[in-house]
Amino acid sequence: MISVKKLDKKFGKNLVLKNVNLTIEPGKVTAIVGPNGSGKTTLIKSILGLVRPTEGIIEVDGKLVGDDYLYRKRIGYMPQMANYPENLTGNEILSLIKSVRNTEKVSAGKILSSLKLESQMDKGFKNLSGGTKQKISVLIAFAFDPEIIILDEPTAGLDPVSSSFFKDLVLMEKEKKKTIILTSHLMNEVQELSDEIVFLMEGEIRYKGTINSLLEDKKETRLERAIAEIMSQDDR
C-alpha cells in the first residue's frame, strides 16, 4: 500500500502540490488524471523519491520514502520521456539495470517479441527513434516482475499496435494483483484499464474513488464527460 500524507511540494514560490492525502490500494490500477501542470508527474516522482517533498510524508508498504532506496527494488517505472546514453545499446541498459537491481529474474522474452524489439536491442540509442526508446522503457518497467508499476503517460509515444499490446500487458499484470499507477490524458484508456481514479487540479485532489462510482455520481456513461463536469463545477 502506498500512502501519501499532507504532501506539499513547492518549486521556488510555485506550490505544485497542496496538502495531498492519498492511499493507493494494492492489487488495483489507479489512474491519476488532470489537466497539464496539475501535478500528476510531481506526485508520481514524489512516490519514487525523485522529487523531495516540501512538507508531508510518503510511505510505501509502511516504509518511509526518504534516504532508504531499497524499496525501489519493488517498483518498475516508465517515465514520460525516455532518453538513454547515446553510445549504449538496449541490451547494455537492460543488463545495467539487472545488475543494479541485483536480480536474475528477467522476463523479457514476450515483451521483446510483441513490441518487435529484438532487432533493436543491439543498436546504439543514438540510432533509435523516440517510439523505440519508449518501448525499451516499457520493457524496463515490466521485465523485473515488480510488485508496483508506475507509468507516466505510457502510450503517448507508442504506435497503435504497441499501444494495444501495452494495454494487454497492464491487464495481465492487474490479473496478477500488481499495484499499478498510471497517468494519462486519454480517458477511454483510463476507463479501459483502471479501477480507481484520482483527479488532480492545481495541485489538489478534487476526486478520488472508483470509476463506476464517479460515473454513477455524475450520471454519465463516459468518463470524459464526468471529468469535464467536475472541472466545470470548479469553474463555477
For 144, phi and psi rounded to 5 degrees?
-95, 20
92 binds other proteins (CB under 8 A): yes
From the list 124, 163, 167, 202, which residue makes contact with other proteins (rule: CB under 8 A)? 124
* Range in contact with other proteins (rule: CB under 8 A) among 29-37, 83-91, 191-199, 211-219: 83-91
* Amino acid (1-letter code) at residue 30: T
Nearer to other proteins, 62 or 160 (CB): 62
Among 211, 215, 208, CA closest to 194: 211
From the list 3, 15, 19, 96, which residue makes contact with other proteins (rule: CB under 8 A)? 96
From the list 50, 64, 171, 172, which residue makes contact with other proteins (rule: CB under 8 A)? 50
Site for other proteins in 215-234 (CB under 8 A): none
Among 196, 198, 200, CA closest to 212: 196
**Looking at the chain, which runs of residues are DSSP E strands?**
2-11, 14-24, 29-33, 55-60, 63-64, 75-78, 148-152, 179-183, 196-201, 204-210
What residues have CB less than 8 Å from 199, skipping those under 6 apart? Answer: 33, 34, 205, 206, 207, 208, 227, 230
Q: How many CB atoms lie within 10 A of CB 129?
A: 10
Site for other proteins in 60-79 (CB under 8 A): 67, 69-73, 75, 77, 79
Supply the minimum distance, in Å, between the C-beta of residue 96 and other proteins: 5
* CA 53/CA 201 separation, integer angstroms: 18
48 binds other proteins (CB under 8 A): yes
Supply the minimum distance, in Å, between the C-beta of residue 114 and other proteins: 22
Nearer to other proteins, 34 or 53 (CB): 53
Retrieve residue 11's grid coordinates.
518549486
Nearer to other proteins, 124 or 206 (CB): 124
Binding site for other proteins (CB under 8 A): 11, 45, 48-52, 67, 69-73, 75, 77, 79, 81-88, 92-93, 96-97, 99-102, 124, 137, 140, 150
